[in-house]
Amino acid sequence: MSETTPEASRHFIQQIIDDDIASGKHASIATRFPPEPNGYLHIGHAKSICLNFGLALEFKGRCHLRMDDTNPTKEEVEYVDSIQEDVKWLGFDWGTHYYQASDYFARMHADAIRLIEMGKAYVCHLTLEQMREYRGDLVNPGKPSPSRDRGVEENLALFAQMTKGELDEGSAVLRAKIDMASPNLLMRDPVIYRIRKASHHNTGDTWCVYPMYDYAHPLEDAYEGITHSICTLEFEIHRPFYDWLLRTLDTPAKPRQIEFARLNLTYTVMSKRRLLELVQEKRVSGWDDPRMPTVSGLRRRGVTPTSIRKFCETIGVTKHNSLTDVALLEHAIRDDLNKTVPRAMAVLDPIRLVIENYPEGQVEELEAINNPEDPAAGSRKVPFSRNLLIERDDFMEVPAKKYFRLTPGQEVRLRWAYFVKCTGVTKDAAGNILEVRCTYDPATRGGENPPDGRKVKGTIHWISESHAGDVEVRLYDRLFSLEDLNSLADGEDWRTHLNPNSLKVARAKVEPSLLQTKPGTRVQFERVGYFCADTKDSTPGKPVFNRTVTLKDSWAKVATK
């Protein structure tokens, strides 16, 4: 056990490994992250990545990255590449330990033949529907397949026919011969090989039969010498077959499968199948749409790998499924960005502010601190002039109670600039406000309190109108409006809960320096939120800003109304 980590704060998997090392069962550990390359990784996978690679780092072991590519009809090289990119971006390195299940196909096939020779596997011709019928249920035992007692030589010959492509898809499968009366339905002679006459992205047309995941996964772990095979709770019922297979084949390595609770987030779909449907139905712009919970989507939105790792550490590792508030993820993102990103001013819904007593044509360069949390970030110069732009909702002609921003006769501080007091408004013929007029106090330069000691309660941001840059701003919000998407009734369409306001586009006015923002650069728009220059749609001199997260949890206010 680590000398620096109290036992009480260590989760159950750490404690299992502590015991295994203390007892001498393992001198070092080996974990693995084994995604199927049939889609992009999401935040739930990030939890598994942080856990598996984190344990390997903590115990000075190794963690393998392995593609569980046993289904050629759903897997693509694009997904393989994206998975590798995401794992690296999160800050982890598998070194020389990159593997693919497809690299083991010949070895797995040989082990299947061994099972047949041992009388532990047979070729079955039941259809899928018939197998379900024969399997029985939790009350009734299953019925043996008519093929169950076929002889070894005939099974070997039939499996050879399957392998050569001489049998049609669906006409035969290879099943493990275990126990048709087992209380665990997955032990009632599970299918371990099926015919798929499809080209594989790695092995091409070499194979006409492919192993099932439940058969391939324990063998992959054993071949690679994995010590602790960590997976989510839904695989707990699969563990008896995992152990049966390794025991029956007497593999030199016998990894231990350990299950932990997967990540479920509020307002978030975590099903890879549903995420694929969102992409295919063009409800989002792609796997890396900034509203998606994919690692690539979070990255494009401006989320940092540090904040994701911190979030995964905060939620911990347990044996019980629960629903985690997405606000915890957003808090981790804010906390990290607050410490690391520079500030700038941007106005999303501008209205003109005219300073009547400021000289016409004069421009000042005012000093603004880049990040109050980081003195090393320094400062920048911001142009200031007579005509400014402020947020429309920072002025109210008839103020509400406790409204401390700009109103007639009320004084506010312009961020990094001066105190100003509203003297009136200019309206069009329909009564719409065209501009707000005010005066400024030259003694308050830099936003400092004046010599007479008077104070103001409100501070607002601004942009010099003649210097303002014009940019597109994408205001991303939660993709779904339903808190718990696992609570849907049978047959209820989850798509009906898509949030129609998950994306709003605005034309914002920004400090001129922001026009040179490079793609991927993060910034805080003061009093507005955290943003990132889009890595796809930004062009030189014309950045497109994606909102990463608001400054505060606006949904909490809605929930309490």
User: How many of the other CB atoms lie within 10 Å of CB of 540?
Assistant: 9
User: How many of the other CB atoms lie within 10 Å of CB of 191?
Assistant: 17
Contact between residue 57 and residue 30 where contact means Cβ atoms under 8 Å apart: no
Q: Which residue has the tokens 């000075």?
A: 60
Question: With left for phi above 0 and alpha for psi between -120 and 50, is residue 390 left, alpha or beta?
Answer: beta
Give the strand pairing for 343-344 and 522-525. Answer: parallel
> What is the separation of C-alpha 125 from the centre of its chain, rounded to a whole number of angstroms?
42
Q: Which residue has the tokens 């043996």?
A: 144
User: How many of the other CB atoms lie within 10 Å of CB of 430?
Assistant: 5
437 is catalytic: no
Residues, the chain, total? 561
CA–CA distance, 246 with 371 (Å, rounded to integer):
56
CA–CA distance, 388 with 531 (Å, rounded to integer):
22
Q: Which residue has the tokens 């910034």?
A: 523
CA–CA distance, 353 with 388 (Å, rounded to integer):
5
> What is the separation of C-alpha 313 from the centre of its chain, rounded to a whole number of angstroms?
15
CA angle (232, 238, 241) in 5-degree steps: 145
Q: 267-306 in b/e burial notation, b at 16+ Cβ within 10 A?
A: bbbbebeebeebbeeeebbebbbbbbbbbbbbbbbbbbbb
Q: Is residue 371 classed as helix, strand or coil in its secondary structure? A: coil
Q: Please name which of 257, 220, 260 lies closest in space to residue 242, comparing C-alpha atoms.
A: 257
Show Cβ contacts of residue 233 under 8 Å, excluding neighbours closer than 6 positions. 259, 260, 261, 262, 319, 321
Q: Identify the bridge partners of residue 481 per DSSP, sorted by sequence position.
A: none
Candidate list 262, 283, 380, 421, residue with the active-site label = 262
Q: What are phi and psi of 507, to 5 degrees?
A: -100, 115
CA–CA distance, 475 with 285 (Å, rounded to integer):
15
Amino acid 561: pLDDT: 36
The pTM (predicted TM-score) of the whole model is 0.93
Question: With left for phi above 0 and alpha for psi between -120 and 50, is residue 24 left, alpha or beta?
Answer: left
Q: Which residue has the tokens 């047979």?
A: 122
262 is catalytic: yes
Candidate list 32, 66, 188, 272, residue with the active-site label = 272
76 is catalytic: no
Radius of gyration of the chain (CA): 31
Q: Please name which of 199, 197, 200 lies closest in space to residue 80, comparing C-alpha atoms.
A: 200
SS (H, E, C) 453-511: CCCCCCEECCEEHHHCEEEEEEEECCCECCCCHHHCCCCCCHHHHECCCCEEEEEEEEC
pLDDT in tens, the chain (561 residues): 344 455 558 999 999 999 999 999 999 999 999 999 999 999 999 999 999 999 999 999 999 999 999 999 999 999 999 999 999 999 999 999 999 999 999 999 999 999 999 999 999 999 999 999 999 999 999 999 999 999 999 999 999 999 999 999 999 999 999 999 999 999 999 999 999 999 999 999 999 999 999 999 999 999 999 999 999 999 999 999 999 999 999 999 999 999 999 999 999 999 999 999 999 999 999 999 999 999 999 999 999 999 999 999 999 999 999 999 999 999 999 999 999 999 999 999 999 999 999 999 999 999 999 999 999 999 999 999 999 999 999 999 998 888 899 999 999 999 999 999 999 999 999 988 999 999 999 999 987 778 888 889 999 999 999 999 999 999 999 999 999 998 988 889 999 999 999 999 999 999 999 999 999 999 999 999 999 999 999 999 999 999 999 998 765 544 433
Q: Pull the structure tokens for residue 455.
A: 């104070």
Q: Please name which of 190, 184, 313 lies closest in space to residue 237, comparing C-alpha atoms.
A: 184
Both ends of the chain: CA-CA distance in Å?
A: 48
Domains for the chain: give ranges and CATH numbers: 7-260 (3.40.50.620), 272-342+472-560 (2.40.240.10), 346-461 (2.40.240.10)
Candidate list 36, 85, 364, 435, residue with the active-site label = 36
Q: Is residue 530 classed as helix, strand or coil in its secondary structure? A: strand
Q: Identify the bridge partners of residue 287 per DSSP, sorted by sequence position.
A: none
CA–CA distance, 489 with 468 (Å, rounded to integer):
51
Amino acid 8: pLDDT: 59
Query: Alpha helices of 199-325 — where are they, by DSSP H?
Result: 213-223, 239-249, 272-280, 295-301, 305-315
User: How many of the other CB atoms lie within 10 Å of CB of 375?
Assistant: 10
